[in-house]
Structure 1
Amino acid sequence: MTPKPMLPQRATDYLLHSCYLLLLTTLIMTGCKKTQDHQDTKPEETKDTLSAAFTTKAGAIRARSEMPGLYLGVQRNGKLLYSRGFGFADEKKQRAFTGQTIMPVASISKTLLGIAVMKAIEEGYFDMETPVNDILPFKVTNPLYPEQPIRVKHLATHTSGIQDTMSEEEPEQFTWGKVPGQTLHAFLEDYFIPGRRLYKPASYLPEAPGKSYHYSNVATSLLAYLIEIKAGMSYAMYVQQNIFEPLELRTAHWYYDDRKSSQYADLYMPTPIKQWLPVYSGILYPDGGWRVSGEDMMRYLDEIMKGYSGAGKLLRADSYRQLFTPQFTATGFKLGIFWFLTPDGHIVNGGDDYGIAGDIGFDPGTKSAWFMLTNTSVDRRDNSRSPQLRDDYVEMRKLLVDFAKQP
């Protein structure tokens, strides 16, 4: 029996050092078999010279990087321009990675929470200035600043002063299996209530709420829990009813579903010997547990673009406007509500987890949008073992964005 790998400590600082790049590492990818890349785009699209050239370049980058599989999607002027899979969803069975392949999208999941928060505000559950302790059944207070409340807006912009302190030895964040062994509510109580087993004073920064940017998955999931309390249902169900169903995202869900097993991509960790990952799940699922196909992600991105222009159907126009309005300025970028606004006018998010790397974004100026996803980690924290994988991922992203923005 192949031993199960240990999950490394999770990356938590997407865009901390660059407003463009995901959390990029690089680890050696070996043994990846070359394949003819799967065709998803419609026949009329493949006749386009620019699309054909893009496909050739993208396929070459994927092949040399030995990413197991890859999905690339492009929308322009409200139309799906490109949707294609490359490589393998399952290397052992040689199953192609396609637009219908489903896999987790890591921290891109947080963009759902942005919509859910604005929907909760529309429904009167709270507003951005609401102190979280006005809602929670337990108290969350920075012991260094006990008189300064943590507010909804702080959780929504990574400025709460809460930081993630889980280590590799603590299995609560991720567990092998289809569902986690603890509820979100129970985890958050253990994490924030003094004297409980996961409580640490170091979980709070030595800075008052709202004063500095510090990416936090725990703070993100705490915000989702506020919605659970006010809505009287799980966050998963709230998103299902208010986002997945209205947009008819039929592949979108949170935890492993046996009925969809044939559609899932296998996930791989690029260690010195590439390692297949068994199914794992996370208690903090709101921050990174969304599972979806590339084609459904493009439908979601279409709604995001329409929402930006004031024509979305999930939220009122003023709610969408607030979603993309800068709420906090950090070094090199500005923060909307779970969206990063870059100096060149892009609005982006992305993620990297165990066996996952992805990037989503759009350019309002050119009315173009893009999505890419691969079933291996490209986390930046250890790029010494495979700088080529990191560089290839960055090159692929640039190629995709440039193609999306072409007139």
Structure 2
Amino acid sequence: MIKKILLGILAILIFSCEAKKKGHSDAFIKTQNELTKKLTALSKKTCLNGFGVALVNDKEILYQNGFGIANVEKGEEYTENTIQNIASVSKTFIGISILKAQELGKLKLDDPINKYLPFKIENPKYKNSQITIRQLVTHTSSIIDNEEYMHRAWVLNDTIDLEKNLKIDIGVCKFSAPATAVSMEDFLKNVLTQNGKWFKPNTFSDHKPGDIYEYSNMGATLAALVLEKATGEKFDAFTVKYILKPLKMESTGWGLGSIDIKKHSRLYSDKKTAYPFYKCVTYPDGSIITSSSDMSNYIFELMKGYVGKGTLLSKSSYKEYFKPQLKAENFINRNTDIYSDEYNTGINMGFSSAGNFGHYGGDPGISSGIWFTPKSKTGRYFITNTDWDEKVRVKNQIAIYGLLDEYLAKLNKLSKAEK
């Protein structure tokens, strides 16, 4: 216990010294330390084993840290450098990548996808309406996440306790055995083409492509495959070249094979029960593995991109990325909650009815979110390694998000003047 207290004090001192080196005021450093202490105390009271956070404005990274436990069995702490997958927040990387490919002259948003694919994909109910790349990245392609996706996409990483692990309840989805894994391309071909062995009539909705917003993991993944065919580069390699390396996201990769699994947080269904390691065949839709430290670099870049100072894309591309793409008639049951990311959509970037934007994600043992407020030019990142306990979910979320929002406002006000 004494050792843990000393390590905690040391971490705060190091954090304070680093902030001081960057020219922050004593008030700024004091506010960072206050947030660390309050989140540390809160981490001991929530239903979560561990979580990570990052706060930014358009000028700098204001705060990044991790709290709680990454591995209960080993007693490993969750820090800003702990890595784990971040679920559907990964889709924002698809949007950036598609626009980068457009800048490189490899594709255009309004191109039909069959211009690039080696097999034909169409909604059989609308054979004269071609699906476009823009429709894939705005969830209007009419592609549905049916049971074939739900039951085949999540694959266990190994065969340890296989019979037991295959029976784990993960909601509407199921874990599959490692032997069932196929490539992303083969999966999409078999599910989405009419001659595919897993094709079913409900693979596509009754709506014409481009008409109605229907959130689609398979549609997002198909956009990544189109990028591969258009550029001649694998999607993961493309993102490394054009996103991860430029932003110095050195602890980030796609899937368990791209990282040191020993550094990966365990994921939990509750505070005691760990999920087995798993991967996703449709990896671009939710399988980037990263740390809070690396994600602070990413959301800082997005905030800068929004105000016209980004480095990954041109100003015009970022304008497209953050532009609400749809109209009221594109929605059947429009989510008007001010915190929802499904009131409108940019290029794989969601908007709320209040005009804020970001993306949420959720997978077994994971809840994630990036969220930006244009008025204050600030953004925050939050990731958990434990499923929320529904009995205390709202209480825990209000406590954590309330602290993050309170201190984001304080740190933003104390932030360095623009150089």
Q: TM-score range by the shorter chain?
A: 0.7 to 0.9
Shift in CA distance, 204/274, structure 1 to aligned 2, threshold 3 Å: farther
Q: Partner of 1:111: helix, strand, or coil? A: helix
* SS class of match (2:290): strand
1:53: how far off?
4.2
Matches of 2:297 and 2:220, distance apart in 1: 24
Residue 212 of structure 1: how far off its partner (Å):
1.2
Moved more, 307-316 or 106-115: 307-316
- Match of 2:44, SS? helix
2:143 counterpart SS class: coil
Distance 1:336 1:196, change over 3 A: same
> In 2 relative to 1, CA 149–277 (structure 1 residues): closer, same or farther, beyond 3 Å?
same
C-alpha spacing 1:154/1:395, structure 2 compared with 1 (3 Å): farther
Deviations 1:14-43 (A, max 9, x none): xxxxxxxxxxxxxxxxxxxxx879546711
Q: Which moved more, 1:392-401 or 1:44-53?
A: 44-53
State the match for 1:251 in structure 2: 251
Equivalent residue letter for 2:315:
A
Contact 2:122-2:193 within 8 A present in 1 as well: no
2:206 maps to which residue?
206
5+ residue gaps, structure 2, are: 20-25, 159-177, 337-342, 414-419
- CA distance in 1 between counterparts of 2:247 and 2:150 reads 39
Partner of 1:357: 367
Is 1:43 the counterpart of 2:16 in the alignment?
yes
- Answer yes or no: is 1:107 the counterpart of 2:88: yes
Q: Which residue of 2 aligns with 1:177?
A: 157
Q: Find the aligned partners of 2:315 and 2:293 in 1 and give their Cα distance.
A: 25
Corresponding residue number in structure 2 for 1:372 = 382
CA contact (8 A) 1:357 1:377 kept: yes
Query: Retained in 1: the 8 A contact 2:58–2:304?
Result: no
Name the counterpart of 2:75.
94
The partner residue of 2:404 within 400, 403, 406 is 400
Aligned to 1:24: none
Match of 1:304 in 2: 302
Q: Is the 8 A contact 2:16 2:33 kept in 1?
A: no
**Distance in 2 (alpha carbons) for counterparts of 1:140 and 1:307:** 33
**Residue of structure 2 in register with 1:126 after alignment:** 107
Check whether the contact 1:150–1:160 (CA below 8 A) recurs between aligned residues: yes
After TM superposition, give the deviation of residue 399 of structure 1 in Å: 3.0
* Counterpart in the other structure of 1:27: none
Q: Give CA-to-partner distance per residue, 1:220-244, whole Å, 9 cap, x none.
A: 0000000010111211111111111
1:118-168 CA-to-partner distances (Å, cap 9, x unmatched) read 011112222121111222111211121111111111101111111101359
Hey, what does 1:225 align to over in structure 2?
225
Q: Evaluate the alpha carbon distance shift between residue 147 and residue 254 of structure 1 in structure 2; reply closer, same or farther with a 3 A threshold.
A: same
Cα distance change, pair 213–169 in 1 and its aligned pair in 2 (3 A): closer
**Distance change (3 Å), C-alpha of 1:295 and 1:192:** same
Identity of aligned residues (%): 28
1:291 equivalenced with 2:289 (yes/no): yes
Aligned: 1:324 with 2:297: no
Query: Does 204-213 or 178-187 show the bigger shift?
Result: 178-187
Q: Check conservation: 2:253, 2:259, Cα contact below 8 A.
A: no
Q: Which has the larger radius of gyration?
A: 2
Q: Distance in 1 between matches of 2:387 and 2:326?
A: 29
The answer on whether the counterparts of 1:345 and 1:365 sit within 8 Å (CA) in structure 2 is no
Alignment match, 1:239: 239
One-letter amino acid matched to 1:286: P
Aligned residues: 364
Structure 1 residues 92 and 258, CA, compared in 2 at 3 Å: closer, same or farther?
Answer: farther
User: Matches of 1:318 and 1:169 in 2, distance apart?
Assistant: 36
Say what the alpha-carbon RMSD is for the aligned residues.
Answer: 2.4
Contact kept in structure 2, 1:166 and 1:173, CA below 8 Å:
no
3-state SS of 1:328 partner = coil
Contact 1:162 1:204 in 2 (8 A): yes
Task: Identify if the C-alpha distance between structure 1 residues 282 and 126 changes in structure 2 by more than 3 Å, giving closer, same or farther.
Answer: same
Show the 5 A alignment for 1:51-70.
51-70=32-51
Q: 1:89-132 deviations in whole A, cap 9, x for unaligned?
A: 11111111001100001001001011101011112222121111
* CA distance in 2: counterparts of 1:281 and 1:236, whole angstroms: 15
Amino acid across the alignment from 2:409: K
For structure 1, the 5+ residue unaligned runs are 1-34, 379-384
Cα displacement string for residues 312-338 of structure 1 (whole angstroms, at most 9, x for unaligned residues): 111111001100011014422221111
Moved more, 56-65 or 220-229: 56-65
2:253 is paired with a residue whose SS is coil
Structure with a larger share of its residues in helix: 2
Aligned to 2:355: 345
**Counterpart of 2:392 in structure 1: which amino acid?**
Q
SS of alignment partner, residue 306 of structure 1: helix
Q: Distance in 1 between matches of 2:101 and 2:399?
A: 38
Mapped to 1, the partners of 2:145 and 2:402 lie a distance apart of 31
Residue 137 and residue 257 in structure 1: after superposition, are their counterparts in 2 closer, same or farther (change >3 A)?
Answer: closer
For 2:196, what is the secondary structure of its paired residue? coil
The one-letter code matched in structure 2 to 1:375 is N
What is the aligned counterpart of 2:274 among 273, 276, 284? 276
**Aligned partners of 2:40, 2:148: CA distance in 1, in Å?**
37
C-alpha displacement of 1:59: 3.4
